């Protein structure tokens, strides 16, 4: 609804990310939407590729958006209790494979990402900062472990991760972001914070079909061309795997939800994380059908107005 887009207050957000082409598009969408979100900082984490690349890639994206003043922080270089698993098979060696890109010149902040998250939540008025994790939940889980007092101060966590009907993408049972650091995810889902989840069930409906990618290219801008080239690169993997018409643009769903929540629908349910089983490690055990008496702890999205989402995204990218 148009009214909803203009009347929602500006939300202060921290984007926690492991860019990743789809993370990059999410960052661009946020930086292009100052009337909806105020990006207090971008905290990077190891995930799709190791930390040295994710912290570099986040700055490449800020410079592409002509926002070099954005604060970018370096965070955890490995999951809380496990060795790192990466996804170069999807995102390429750099994490942003596709177009040729210059190394960034903007500075990285000196403060550790986890300290920035804790300090910001303690400094800002309680209930006014939303966390937007787009990668493994290591930075957020570590912050909550080090400073349990911040849980009560978070407005909401809106994250990309997990799956129920779609089950898994990195293993038959688990989605990548949750699988990489299940202990961190477990902390988040048990934190009592209001959590909104964009699982594969939703993001697999946000496909980069040819007309949608043509619309990015038709913007005829550096950003439009870059996003189209990123998409061309990473969609080869999903097209081959799923036989679909394009790749899911996972992470921008998180930012789109903050801008236009009525694009999404879901259910308030209980979500628990499997941390023990070797076979189903990182599974989001989502009680979609309400068959347990476990209390609801998350808004688990199941559907998206995909055309509305791509229209919003293309319009916003056109501003950069
Ligand atoms: C998630 O994993 C990464 O490959 C993407 O960036 C996204 O955050 C999808 O499972
Ligand atoms: Ca990601």
CA–centroid distance, residue 97 to ligand 1 (Å): 15
- Tell whether 2 is covered by a domain: no
Residue-wise pLDDT for 229-254, tens only, equals: 999 888 777 777 777 778 899 999 99
How far is the centre of ligand 2, averaged over its atoms, from the C-alpha of 293 (Å)? Answer: 32
Contact 295, 206 (CB under 8 A): no
Confirm whether 283 is domain-assigned: yes
Q: How confident is the model at residue 291 (pLDDT cuts 50, 70, 90)?
A: very high
Tokens representing 205?
A: 């409906």
Is 16 near ligand 1, meaning CB less than 6 Å away? no
Residue 87: CB within 6 Å of ligand 1?
yes
- Helices 138-146, 113-123: axis angle to 10 degrees equals 60
pTM of the model: 0.95
Q: Is residue 75 part of a domain?
A: yes
CA-to-CA distance for 304 and 133, rounded, in angstroms?
Answer: 19
Of the pLDDT bands very low, low, confident and very high (cuts 50, 70, 90), residue 7 is: low
Is residue 5 a part of any domain in this protein?
no
> Given this model, what pLDDT does residue 307 score?
97
300 inside domain: yes
* Tally of structural domains, the chain: 1
Using one digit for the tens of pLDDT, what is the confidence trace for 64-114?
Answer: 999 999 999 999 999 999 999 999 988 889 999 988 888 999 999 999 999
In a domain, 269, yes or no: yes
Query: Which of 86-90, 149-153, 280-284 shows the lowest per-residue confidence on average (mean pLDDT)?
Result: 86-90
Q: Which domain holds residue 205?
A: 11-317
Q: Decide: helix, strand or coil at residue 229.
A: helix
Residue 121 lies in a domain: yes
User: Catalytic: 112?
Assistant: no
Whether 274 is in the pocket of ligand 1, judged by its Cβ within 6 Å, is no
Give the model confidence (pLDDT) of 266-279 as tens digits: 999 999 999 999 99
In angstroms, the CA 116 to CA 107 distance is: 16
Q: List all residues 6 or more positions away from 107 whose beta carbon is below 8 Å from its beta carbon.
A: none
Is residue 125 a part of any domain in this protein? yes
**Residue (of 217, 198, 319) closest to 266 by Cα position:** 198
pLDDT at 3 over 60: no
24: domain CATH number?
A: 3.90.245.10
What was the pLDDT predicted at 1? Answer: 44
Nearest ligand 1 atom, CA 250: 7
Give the number of other CB atoms < 10 A from CB of residue 165: 11
């Amino acid at each position: 609804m148009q009214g909803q887009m203009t009347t929602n207050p500006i939300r202060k957000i921290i984007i926690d990310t492991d860019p990743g082409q789809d993370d990059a598009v999410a960052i661009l969408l946020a930086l292009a939407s100052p009337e909806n979100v105020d990006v207090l900082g971008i905290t990077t984490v190891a995930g799709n590729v190791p930390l040295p690349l994710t912290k570099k890639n986040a700055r490449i994206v800020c410079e592409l958006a002509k926002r070099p003043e954005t604060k970018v922080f370096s965070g955890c270089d490995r999951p809380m209790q496990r060795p790192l698993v990466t996804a170069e098979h999807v995102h390429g060696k750099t994490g942003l494979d596709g177009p040729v890109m210059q190394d960034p010149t903007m500075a990285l902040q000196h403060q550790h990402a986890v300290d920035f998250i804790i300090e910001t939540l303690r400094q800002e008025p309680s209930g006014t900062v939303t966390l937007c994790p787009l990668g493994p939940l290591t930075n957020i889980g570590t912050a909550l472990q080090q400073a349990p007092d911040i849980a009560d101060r978070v407005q909401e966590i809106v994250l990309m991760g997990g799956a129920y009907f779609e089950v898994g993408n990195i293993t038959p049972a688990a989605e990548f972001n949750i699988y990489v650091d299940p202990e961190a995810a477990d902390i988040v889902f048990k934190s009592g914070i209001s959590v909104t989840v964009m699982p594969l069930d939703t993001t697999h409906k946000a496909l980069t079909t040819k007309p949608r990618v043509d619309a990015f290219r038709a913007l005829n801008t550096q950003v439009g061309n870059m996003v189209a080239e990123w998409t061309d690169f990473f969609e080869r993997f999903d097209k081959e795997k799923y036989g679909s018409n394009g790749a899911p643009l996972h992470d921008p769903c998180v930012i789109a939800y903050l801008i236009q929540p009525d694009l999404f629908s879901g259910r308030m349910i209980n979500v628990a994380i499997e941390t023990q089983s070797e076979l189903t490690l990182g599974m989001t055990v989502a009680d979609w059908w309400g068959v347990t008496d476990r209390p609801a702890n998350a808004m688990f999205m199941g559907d998206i107005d995909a055309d509305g989402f791509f229209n919003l995204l293309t319009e916003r990218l056109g501003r950069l």
